[in-house]
């Protein structure tokens, strides 16, 4: 249940008279929001582990876990987490016995690594969850400061400013601000300042400029001079924006080495290692089993890349807010696309594409796999890889293209609103009421998206007969429903509220809001310039270098396996022709390798293809999290734009290299037979 669903459910409780008690509206909504399913499972496992095994913790470790438990609102003790961590290690360590029984050294090593990894990973789950929560909330930090400053410029009331921010924010930060209000109402803290001071301590390591901005806002209340008070509020916004740029610059400059390590250890070296695998598998068929290779490349290595990427994302600082498009009528539900006004799950056509590709591969090739390896094994095994790629492309494209259309529209409206709010402020300062000012600015900014927003307001007032407030915020007809921008909504709320005092206050509020937005845009552009080099490099390597390398590996592997198969045939013939003697000993030495037990060509290509697809998905995920954290729509958009050209490059490269190398190999073998 997300925040919007919780609010709607609470309103139903109010209508039925079930929302009683001393709890505030904010806290009741807060409690209705469910924890993520993975956190709930983790919580239950910790409780179970704590009842089985008791573990003592050092004071520093206990305090660290207690802080994470408090932030995540978990109903467990720090010792329960350590118990689960230790039991996880014991579980995987016990599995080593199966490796010894099976006589497989690889299994023993794999389970030992899993035991060590599980112990460390489980213990850090709440710490990582807190960090990811902060990353998701970080996009709203700038807006939180902006909302509080804008409100306090015309009404120096900290409680009302926090309430205004809580009403306009979404996600984890909105819940945190609502919890602050509840803590004051229940007298956990005597004042909101005390609650706020305690809360910002959790951000001191992650976003110190946010902490400084909050302290500056609090300090502004102590000023006796109005001019000084406003100056300090402006300093709070500047500190937040400049701090965001500085921290993002440091993050971008430190990305190069981790990204290079990610590509070298997780992509380049493993792909190059695949070239030698057919040779090792022929000589050591008992050790280099195809199942081990599939698990290593399609499970183990992607997990390594994922955790390396997670380490990179841990250092990501505060970002700029993304538009919230969920309230727009043209936006389908998550994971769906609109067709004739009906939400259709994007997974349905995606499953259809996958089923068709698997049907073709099974019926036309897999039912009668040829025993002699040839380049045609490569060509036919491309079918499931194409099917998997098209399945992912179909889902991500259908789930994102309509949402991205609205997303870009909101981005454009917010960009235009910077100038529009400044002009609105000027018109209101000239003595025009907000209704007339909106009409005048709409006429000036014709053929822009923001003028359409103003036109909807005017239509609602003139044709439907709504008041100016209702023309903007009415739940059914309000213009804000078509433009669900938090920036536009909050600025309109400030304008309406300040206009009740005087037109001068409304004008000043809009002009200041425009100034802050312009500063935010300027810093945002600088941040994009700083990140552009690293992001472009990651895109290029993932979309072009990786598929080319995988294609070359497939072609080389085809050449090696075909040559080894030919050599084995020749050795078999020589062995049959010679019954004894030195010649027989020589053929015995060459007969140590068994190509028939090596990985089949079609399976090798499928393993490489799936590995490449997984790497593309992981790099796309990392890119999306760097640019716009926790934005599922943008993540699907990045995946859909990268996977199709990459798979085309991979197929072309694989086919061309296979034709070239196998052709050269067959020609060399034919010449060898002549001599």
Tell me the pLDDT band of 1, cut-offs 50, 70 and 90: very low
Instruction: Say if residue 32's pLDDT is above 80.
Output: no
Measure the N-to-C terminal CA separation of the chain; round to a whole number of Å. 75
Mean pLDDT value of segment 17-35 = 48
Residue 634 pLDDT level (bands cut at 50, 70, 90): confident
Encoding tokens for residue 439? 């009409």
Give the CA distances from residue 376 to residues 134, 379, 654, 655, 665, in Å, rounded to whole numbers and listed in that order: 51, 5, 12, 10, 15
Cβ atoms < 10 Å from Cβ of 279:
16
Task: Return the closest-CA partner of residue 493 out of 176, 236, 151.
Answer: 151
**Residue 630: which region, alpha, beta or left (left: phi > 0; alpha: psi -120 to 50)?**
left
Cβ neighbours for 51, distance < 8 A, ≥ 6 positions apart: none
Name residue 342's beta-bridge partners: 339
Q: How confident is the model at residue 20 (pLDDT cuts 50, 70, 90)?
A: very low
Inter-residue contact 319 to 245 (CB < 8 Å): no
Whole-number pLDDT of residue 576: 62
Q: Which residues contact 458 (CB under 8 A, 6 or more apart)?
A: 438, 439, 442, 471
Contact residues for 371 (Cβ-Cβ < 8 A; gap 6+):
none
| Nearest partner of 315 among 259, 240, 236, 386, judged by Cα | 259
Tell me how many degrees the CA angle 73-75-77 measures, rounded to the nearest 5: 110
Crossing angle between the packed helical segments 192-200 and 172-185, to the nearest 10 degrees: 140
What mean pLDDT comes out for the span 420-447? 85
Select the highest-mean-pLDDT range: 129-133, 135-139, 204-208, 402-406: 402-406
What percent of the chain is predicted at pLDDT more than 90?
7
pLDDT exceeds cutoff 50 at 565: yes
Residue 2 pLDDT grade (very low, low, confident, very high; cuts 50, 70, 90) = very low
Instruction: Confirm if 521 and 317 have CB atoms less than 8 A apart.
Output: no
Q: Which residues contact 577 (CB under 8 A, 6 or more apart)?
A: none
pLDDT band at 583 (very low <50, low <70, confident <90, very high): very low
Mean pLDDT for 9-30 is 46
Mean pLDDT, range 590-598, rounded to an integer? 53
Q: Using one digit for the tens of pLDDT, what is the confidence trace for 315-338?
A: 776 666 667 777 677 888 888 888
Q: How confident is the model at residue 356 (pLDDT cuts 50, 70, 90)?
A: very high
639 phi, psi to nearest 5 deg: -60, -45
Range in 57-66, 399-408, 457-466, 583-592 with the lowest mean pLDDT: 583-592
Helices and strands (DSSP H and E) totals, the chain: 28, 2
Q: Tell me, what's the pLDDT at 14? A: 44
**If we measure between CA atoms, which residue out of 406, 409, 443, 428 comes closest to residue 514?**
428
Nearest to 384 by CA among 209, 81, 608: 608
Is the pLDDT at 13 greater than 50? The verdict is: no
**Is 73:36 a contact under the CB 8 Å cutoff?**
no
Alpha-carbon distance of 413 to 488, in angstroms, equals: 9
Q: Whole-angstrom Cα distance, residue 267 to residue 644?
A: 19
User: Tokens standing for 207?
Assistant: 């976003």
Give the Cβ contact number of residue 63 at 10 Å. Answer: 12
Q: Confidence band (pLDDT; 50, 70, 90) for 526?
A: confident
Helix/strand/coil for 224: coil
User: Where in the chain are the domains?
Assistant: 1-34, 38-123, 137-252, 254-409+520-674
Instruction: Specify the pLDDT at position 591.
Output: 47
DSSP string covering 550-599, please? HHHHHHHHHHHHHHHHHHHHHHHHHHHH--SSHHHHHHHHHTT--GGGSP
Closest CA to 385 of 652, 610, 539, 636: 610
pLDDT value at 97 more than 70: yes
Distances (CA, A) of 449 to 250, 289, 325, 420, 483: 36, 60, 16, 11, 10
pLDDT level of residue 351 (50, 70, 90 thresholds): very high
Element (H, E) at 343: strand 342-345
Confidence of residue 17 (pLDDT cuts 50, 70, 90): very low
pLDDT at res. 10: 44
Residue, of 481 and 651, whose pLDDT is higher: 651
Residues in the chain: 675
Residue 598: band (very low, low, confident or very high) from pLDDT cuts 50, 70, 90: low
At residue 390, the pLDDT reads 93
Q: How confident is the model at residue 133 (pLDDT cuts 50, 70, 90)?
A: confident
Please tell me the predicted confidence (pLDDT) of residue 491: 80
Span 391-417, mean pLDDT? Answer: 88
Q: Is the pLDDT of residue 387 over 90?
A: yes
162, 638, 655: which is closest to 392 by C-alpha? 638
* pLDDT band, very low/low/confident/very high, at 587 (cuts 50, 70, 90): very low
User: Which of left, alpha, beta for 103 (phi over 0: left; psi -120 to 50: alpha)?
Assistant: left
Per-residue pLDDT band at 21 (split at 50, 70, 90):
very low
pLDDT tens column, 530-560: 778 778 888 888 888 888 888 888 888 778 7
State the DSSP code for 288: S
- Could you read off the pLDDT of 220-261 as tens digits, one per residue? 888 888 888 888 988 988 888 888 888 878 877 777 778 877
């Amino acid at each position: 249940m997300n925040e919007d669903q919780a609010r709607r459910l609470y309103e139903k409780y109010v209508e039925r008279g079930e929302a009683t008690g001393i709890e505030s509206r904010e806290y009741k909504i807060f409690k209705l929001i469910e924890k993520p399913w993975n956190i709930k499972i983790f919580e239950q496992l910790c409780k179970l582990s704590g009842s089985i095994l008791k573990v003592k913790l050092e004071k520093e470790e206990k305090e660290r876990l207690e802080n994470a438990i408090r932030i995540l609102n978990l109903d467990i003790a720090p010792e329960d987490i350590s118990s689960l961590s230790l039991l996880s290690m014991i579980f995987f360590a016990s599995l080593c016995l199966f490796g010894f029984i099976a006589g497989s050294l690889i299994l023993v090593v794999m389970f030992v690594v899993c035991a060590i990894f599980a112990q460390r990973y489980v213990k850090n789950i709440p710490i990582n969850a807190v960090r990811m929560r902060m990353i998701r909330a970080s996009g709203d930090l700038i807006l939180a400061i902006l909302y509080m400053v804008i409100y306090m410029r015309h009404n120096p009331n900290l409680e009302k400013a926090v309430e205004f921010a809580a009403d306009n924010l979404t996600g984890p930060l909105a819940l945190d601000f609502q919890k602050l209000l509840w803590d004051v109402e229940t007298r956990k803290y005597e004042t909101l300042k005390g609650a706020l001071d305690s809360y910002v301590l959790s951000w001191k390591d992650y976003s110190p400029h946010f902490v400084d901005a909050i302290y500056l806002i609090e300090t502004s209340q102590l000023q006796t001079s109005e001019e000084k008070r406003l100056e300090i509020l402006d300093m709070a916004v500047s500190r937040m924006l400049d701090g965001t740029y500085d921290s993002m610059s440091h993050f971008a400059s430190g990305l190069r080495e981790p990204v290079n390590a990610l590509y070298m250890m997780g992509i380049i070296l493993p792909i190059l290692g695949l070239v030698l695998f057919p040779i090792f598998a022929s000589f050591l068929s008992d050790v280099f089993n195809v199942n081990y290779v599939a698990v290593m490349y399609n499970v183990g290595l992607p997990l390594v890349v994922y955790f390396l990427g997670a380490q990179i994302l841990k250092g990501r600082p505060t970002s700029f807010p993304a538009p919230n498009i969920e309230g727009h009528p043209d936006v389908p539900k998550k994971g769906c696309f609109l067709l004739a006004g009906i939400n259709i799950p994007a997974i349905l056509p995606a499953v259809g594409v996958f089923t068709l590709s698997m049907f073709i591969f099974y019926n036309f090739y897999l039912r009668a796999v040829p025993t002699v390896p040839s380049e045609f094994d490569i060509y036919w095994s491309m079918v499931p890889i194409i099917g998997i790629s098209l399945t992912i492309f179909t889902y991500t494209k259908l789930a994102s293209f309509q949402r991205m259309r609205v997303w870009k529209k909101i981005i454009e409206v917010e960009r235009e609103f910077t100038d529009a709010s400044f002009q609105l402020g000027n018109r209101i300062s000239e003595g025009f009421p907000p209704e007339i000012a909106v009409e005048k600015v709409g006429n000036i900014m014709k053929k822009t998206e923001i003028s359409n927003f103003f036109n909807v307001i005017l239509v609602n007032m003139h044709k439907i007969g709504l008041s100016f407030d209702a023309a903007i915020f009415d739940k059914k007809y309000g213009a804000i429903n078509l433009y669900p921008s938090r920036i536009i909504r909050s600025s309109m709320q400030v304008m309406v509220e300040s206009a009740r005092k005087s037109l001068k206050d409304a004008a000043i509020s809009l002009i200041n809001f425009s100034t802050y937005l312009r500063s935010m845009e300027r810093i945002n552009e600088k941040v994009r310039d700083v990140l552009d080099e690293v992001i472009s490099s990651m895109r290029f390597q993932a979309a072009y270098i990786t598929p080319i390398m995988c294609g070359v590996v497939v072609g080389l592997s085809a050449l090696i396996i075909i040559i080894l198969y030919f050599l084995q045939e020749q050795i078999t013939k020589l062995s049959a022709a010679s019954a004894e003697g030195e010649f027989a000993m020589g053929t015995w030495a060459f007969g140590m390798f068994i190509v028939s037990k090596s990985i089949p060509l079609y399976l090798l290509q499928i393993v490489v293809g799936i590995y490449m697809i997984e790497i593309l998905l992981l790099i796309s995920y990392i890119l999306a999290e760097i640019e716009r954290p926790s934005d599922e729509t943008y993540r699907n958009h990045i995946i859909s734009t990268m996977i199709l050209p990459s798979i085309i490059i991979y197929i072309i490269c694989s086919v061309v290299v296979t034709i070239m190398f196998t052709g050269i190999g067959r020609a060399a073998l034919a010449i060898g037979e002549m001599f």
